[in-house]
Chains A and B, each alone.
Chain A
Amino acid sequence: MIELLGIEEKTYTLNLGPQHPSTHGVLRVVLEMNGEFITKAEPVIGYGHRGHEHMAENRNYTQFLPNMGRVDYLHALAYNQCYCMAVEKLLDIKVPERAEVIRVMTNELNRITSHLLWFGAYLMDLGAFTPFLYCFDDREQILDLLDRITGSRLTYCYYRFGGVPTDIDDDFVAGCRAFVSRLRSRWADYDNLVTKNVIFINRTRGVGIITREQCVKYGITGPNLRGSGIPYDIRKSEPYSAYPWFDFEIPIGSNGDIFDRYVVRLAEMEQSLRIIEQACNKLPDGPIMAEKVPKRIKPPVGEVYQAVETARGEFGMYIVSQGDVKPYRIKLRTPSFANMSFFPEMAVDNLVADLVANLGSIDVVIPEIDR
């Protein structure tokens, strides 16, 4: 029709963000549009750049620790743990068993808060407001628990080189048990309200497909990778900390669409609950801090790489030490950056409505991309 009338088809530019309700922070996407279809999407990142890697070069090892909770504020403890483990590797410190189990417990609780927040915020992107508040109600319980032992509610800085500074008590364990049964009783609600909702299924099934090849090509990790059917999880493939002591599964999807990623995240929360439950049952006694931790952290010359599984995927940390009190160089491999790099390809030839759905489904934390 358009050709018959001799009208030239033109594209136009739509600027989405950096202040837009569904860019989750300060992401800007410059879109080339043809009607409601996207012909080109170009993310503009860096609005939240704080220079963490450079900061590390100007601080001693201990001073850099609080920065780790601010790279990805939604799963701060995993970043804490990665840094602590890397430095412990450099210093050759063995962390006591009890401290390891406490680390795993708190880390899994934190993973659940991150997934719950994603769940709520993602449905808000799709226009459903109510699940958000239900999730926050659940999340609040974890924040209260973690608040008691770590002293903060979001940007945790709880782990130390060689262990954890404060021990957990019976109240915390009882609180964890109560939370596990509480969240399990909620699954039915979430399923009825969201997973079985026809509108939700129509918007997520077959949309935003990431194939296995694309995952490998772009280095996508985390639930996005597992949604495409590759059972890769650092907790299993390169077991660290106390994870080998626990029995849990790696949930995977099959189609790699948004719905699969959603299901994987929900199943992951259930697996985290399993880990927490087991940890409550077999919490070992003993010290929470290694004995031979030097007052002044001055690792020997060497290089170390440590990876952990965060809620968003593989977070890796590469530290180069030249035997100084400050690291010579720290490189952060953040999962959202790799996941986001696939986004332009994902957005093209889709509707704006799907752009929002896709962007939300890969669960990016913008400050973590910007670092």
Chain B
Amino acid sequence: MELVAQFLGSEGARMVVGLIAVIALVSVNALFLIWMERKVAAHMQLRPGPMEVGPHGAIQTVADALKLMGKELITPEEVDKPVFWLAPIVIFLPVLLSFLVIPFSSTWIIRDMNVGIILILGFSTLAVLAILMAGWSSNNKYAVFGAIRSVAQNVAYEIPLLITVMSIILMVGSFKLSDIVAAQSRVWFVAVQPLAFILYIICATAETNRAPFDIPEAESELVAGFHTEYTGMRFALFFLAEYTNMFIVSAVATVLFLGGWHGPILPGVIWFLLKVYAVIFLLMWFRWTFPRVRFDQLVTFAWKILIPLAFVNLLITAFVLKLR
């Protein structure tokens, strides 16, 4: 009995409970987001979307997931097998780990590390590696195209993203996510740093490879880009990672700009999730409104417009902070 109590109070228990909670959240969230995307898209396109499975198609994605699990995992002859197998796992794990530091409320946080934001940005960079692995090992020209584009795009967009985040960190003076949220108890940073918020949202859209920046998987050009050769659950893992990634960039946006868990009446967790889903809705709105940017224009936009703007923003922030 004593051992159990000791274990429950220990760091290990916290980790176990946290990981189980994260995995549950990730799966439920992805299922919900896919359903939400289909519904949002449908209503923007004058159609009802999934209606058959469950009320308003609510468990349609569960059925889809079950179907994908039952599919054969096809490994084409010419692929580089170990890398091909590893890529879906490599894309999924870092996404999962990023949840460790996200503060859902002042108390709902698995591990409040003092390098929280660095950890998330670092792990999200790993996704590029997985995409490169998937594209290269597939031994398919379209997949390689997708992978190469993805790397170029992510390198181009990581830099303005980091610089933008730096300006917030300068204001707070801490990498700890809970500190950043706590600093916004009176005024959300979106009001103080509107340019940074816009830059962040643009970069986040590019980071998650979503339209108008969905170059790596541009359907009309590259069929399905880097995951052309993937089937069944392996494909589902890429899908899951994409939607979880969306949740993470939106959560970071909420933490950095929208005051995290702060809000009247409702409990902090509810406020946090509301804000996250609002940002996700914004991303979906983009996707179903804009055409795709051409690849060279996208990279030019990042290097010639976003990065200088982010630098200017950072300089102004530093200057104002110094003056105060």
Contact = CB atoms under 8 A, between A and B. Distances in A.
A, B in one complex = yes
B294 interface: yes
Contact of B292 (A130, A132, A134, A199): A199
Contacts of B295: 36, 351, 353
Interface in A64-107: none
B145 A36 contact: yes
B277 interface: no
A14 B143 CA distance: 12
Interface in A173-200: 193-194, 197, 199-200
Interface in A129-185: 129-130, 132-134, 137
Contacts, number: 78
A127 B292 contact: yes
| Consensus secondary structure, chain B interface | loop
Contacts of A134: 45-46
A14 B45 CA distance: 34
B21 interface: no
Interface in B71-115: none
B319 interface: no
Interface string A197-234: 10110110000000000000000000000000000000
B294 A354 contact: yes
Contacts of B219: 21, 127
A128 B44 CA distance: 12
Interface in B37-68: 41, 44-47
Contact of A20 (B223, B290, B294): B223
B145 A125 contact: no
A356 interface: yes
A197 B290 CA distance: 8
A130 to B, nearest CB: 5
A259 to B, nearest CB: 13
Interface size class of B (residues with CB under 8 A): 20 to 34
Given A14-B141, A133-B46, A199-B212, A126 B223 contact: no
Nearest to A357: B294
Given A22-B221, A127-B214, A202 B294 contact: yes
Contacts of B293: 199, 202-203
A141 B155 CA distance: 47
B218 to A, nearest CB: 6
Contact of A126 (B45, B220, B288): B220
Contact of A128 (B141, B222, B292, B294): B292
A137 B46 contact: yes
* Most interface-central of B47, B221, B291, B294 (chain A CB within 10 A): B291
A125 B218 CA distance: 9
B156 to A, nearest CB: 15
A245 interface: no
Contacts of A12: 141
A329 to B, nearest CB: 40
A202 B223 contact: no
A130 B294 contact: no
Contact of A129 (B45, B141, B218, B294): B45
A167 to B, nearest CB: 33
B211 A127 contact: yes
Given A21-B220, A356-B220, A202 B290 contact: no
Interface in B263-306: 288-297
A290 interface: no
Nearest to B149: A36
Majority SS at the chain A contact face: helix
Interface string A229-268: 0000000000000000000000000000000000000000
Contacts of A353: 218, 221, 292, 294-295
A14 B222 CA distance: 11
Contact of A193 (B46, B145, B289): B289
A200 B294 contact: no
A352 B46 CA distance: 32
B145 A199 contact: no
Interface string B192-219: 0000000000000000000110100011
Contact of A124 (B47, B141, B220, B288): B220
B294 A351 contact: yes
Contact of B291 (A128, A137, A351, A355): A128
Interface string A15-27: 0000011100000
Given A21-B223, A133-B47, A199-B212, A126 B291 contact: yes
Contacts of B292: 126-128, 199, 203, 353
Contacts of A356: 220-221
A134 B288 CA distance: 12
Contacts of A123: 291
Contacts of A22: 220-221
B294 A203 contact: yes
A258 B141 CA distance: 28
Contacts of B211: 127-128
Contact of A127 (B46, B145, B220, B297): B220
A354 B294 CA distance: 8
A129 B285 CA distance: 12
- Identify the 7 closest CB pairs spanning chains A and B, nearest first: A127-B292, A128-B291, A133-B45, A22-B220, A126-B291, A125-B220, A353-B294
12 contacts: A123-B291, A125-B220, A127-B218, A127-B219, A128-B289, A128-B291, A130-B41, A132-B45, A193-B289, A200-B291, A202-B294, A355-B221
Given A12-B141, A129-B41, A130-B288, 5 more contacts: A194-B291, A197-B291, A199-B212, A200-B291, A203-B293
